[in-house]
Amino acid sequence: MTIYELIKNGEYRLKEAGIQNPYNESLGLMQYALGLNLEKIIVSYGDNISDLKKQTFEKLIERRFKKEPFAYIVQNKEFYSLNFYVDETVLIPRPDTECLVDAAIEEIRRLYGINKKKIYVIDLGTGSGAIAISIAKNFDNVIIYAADNNLTSLKTAKKNIINNGVQEKVIPLFLDILKLNDKENLSFNASAVAGDFDFYNLNNYDLIISNPPYINTEDLASLEDDIKFYEPVGALDGGKDGLLFYKKIFDAASVAREKNKTLILEIDYRKKKEIQILFEEKFNNINLKFKKIDFINDLNNKERAVKITYG
């Protein structure tokens, strides 16, 4: 069979599974199976391939038929025009999350304009490192701690840090926001230490950014199969009300007494009111000279992130 005929067979199989854009995904899996770029595949449509390559392609199609995410199969996902290695240890970066990077870039420029010094950032729950790395690619005047409570995820983040050439600006850090004061639980490697900088104290960062778990525990069972059965549940489960991590982050951040601090978090737009109430509860009852909350819309014009400036 020719490459084109196999791609069409793959398309029909994926269409049976209800996969959107089945031809494009079949084509992408053929690229991965043969290790060829799109242009080479197209000019080779009429070529036959070996039985071994045919079997490889058909196995990839079957994995996708079973709803394994395309990004996990090809171990790559584009985010903010960069390529990231992904596997089942990390969430797949999604386009809507790019609005966090946009907001962070704008905020870092503002903070640097005020402080005229290196900006310290922490990305809580970094996963693949996509957010931290995307920010770092835009600046020379930042140090970003890519923090996660999963050592396997941090290995993935470290791979992406090296692949994207930002190892001088992005530092992997083991940190569990739910156990922030448990110092024995907070160590990854010696390279996370920067002089006297206490990276466990969130008050030391100019910007805190995160895409925390925010799905209600009881709603996990109703997620689509490709998410429910493949993506890491620990990166999705936000507790009974979906606000567990927001409460912990707000608690840790709201102790700030210095000027010009910023918190940017991804949210579920349906929880906007709850986030607003939580902000008022955590920030308005402490002695801060200023505090402000704004919501940021995603590509679908829905509130995808919250931005809090305080100090």
Q: Report mean pLDDT in 10-residue bins for the chain, 311 residues.
A: 96 96 97 95 93 97 97 97 97 96 96 88 97 96 94 96 97 88 50 61 91 96 94 94 94 74 95 95 79 92 94 80
| 34 lies in the same domain as 152 | no
In a domain, 285, yes or no: yes
Q: Is residue 224 part of a domain?
A: yes
In a domain, residue 86? The reply is no
Residues 195 and 301 in one domain: yes
Tell whether 50 and 120 lie within a shared domain: no
Number of domains in the chain: 2
Q: Which two tokens stand for residue 198?
A: 């206490």
The neighbour count for residue 195, using CB atoms within 10 Å, is 4
Q: Which two tokens stand for residue 79?
A: 């985010």
Whether 110 and 181 share a structural domain: yes
- Residues 100, 59, single domain; the answer is no
Domain that holds residue 15: 3-66
Are 25 and 64 in contact by the 8 Å Cβ rule? The answer is yes
| CATH assignment at residue 21 | 1.10.8
Compute the distance between CA of residue 128 and CA of residue 152 in angstroms, rounded to an integer.
Answer: 10
Q: H helices within 17-75, ranges in order? A: 22-34, 38-43, 51-65, 70-74
CATH number at residue 102: 3.40.50.150
Considering the domain architecture, whether residues 58 and 103 belong to the same structural domain is answered as no
Q: Tell me: do 34 and 158 sit in the same domain.
A: no
- Whether residue 75 lies inside any domain: the answer is no
